[in-house]
């Protein structure tokens, strides 16, 4: 299991992924993360993982719509997309989401990220959290 956070607020352009600089918990070796990077690598083939996140997000413009999703190798998992519409630039709303994924028997090194999948610049408040737990 791995749980990550970031101590600083971030501004994410469309397609940009959040950076994580703090390891809150890491047990085992089924997940790998390089400090101050955006991706978590799943290292086990034929495994089931639970992935979840929570964050405070908003847009930089009034009446802006922002999207945050879990991505695998850059492709969004649309069932994990959180969408917010802010009344004023800088407003923040709390979002959270989770999903399960299964790696194939020959599939290793899948890269998981938390990404701005919208078209609007996204404000990500300090201390977002992402966790990945291998279940089987």
* Structural contact between residues 100 and 49, judged by C-beta atoms closer than 8 angstroms: yes
pLDDT for 24-44, tens place per residue? Answer: 999 999 999 999 999 999 999
More confident residue, 111 or 60: 111
**How far is 83 from 57, CA to CA, in rounded Å?**
9
- Other Cβ atoms within 10 Å of 114 Cβ, number: 28
The pLDDT of 114-124, averaged and rounded, is 95
- Tally of CA atoms within 13 A in the half-sphere of 134 that contains its CB: 18
Mean pLDDT of all residues in the chain?
94
Parse the chain into domains and list their residue ranges.
Answer: 2-134
60 has pLDDT over 90: no
pLDDT for 76-108, tens place per residue? Answer: 999 999 999 988 878 899 999 999 999 998 877
State the Cα angle at 128 between 125 and 133, rounded to 5°: 170
pTM for the full predicted model: 0.93
> What CATH number does the domain located at 2-134 have?
2.60.120.40
Q: What are phi and psi of 135, to 5 degrees?
A: -95, -35
56 has pLDDT over 80: yes
pLDDT (0 to 100) of residue 105: 86
- Kindly state the tokens that stand for 9: 């607020």
């Amino acid at each position: 299991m791995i749980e990550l956070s970031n101590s600083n607020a971030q501004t994410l352009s469309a397609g940009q992924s959040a950076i994580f600089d703090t390891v809150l918990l890491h047990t085992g070796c089924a997940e790998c993360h390089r400090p101050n990077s955006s991706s978590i690598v799943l290292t086990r083939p034929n495994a089931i993982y639970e992935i979840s996140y929570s964050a405070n997000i908003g847009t930089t413009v009034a009446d802006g719509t922002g999207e945050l999703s879990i991505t695998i190798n850059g492709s969004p998992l649309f069932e994990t997309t959180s969408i917010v519409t802010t009344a004023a630039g800088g407003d923040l709303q709390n979002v959270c989401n989770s999903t399960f994924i299964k790696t194939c028997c020959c599939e290793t090194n899948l890269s998981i990220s938390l990404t701005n999948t919208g078209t609007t610049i996204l404000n990500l408040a300090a201390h977002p959290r992402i966790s990945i737990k291998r279940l089987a």
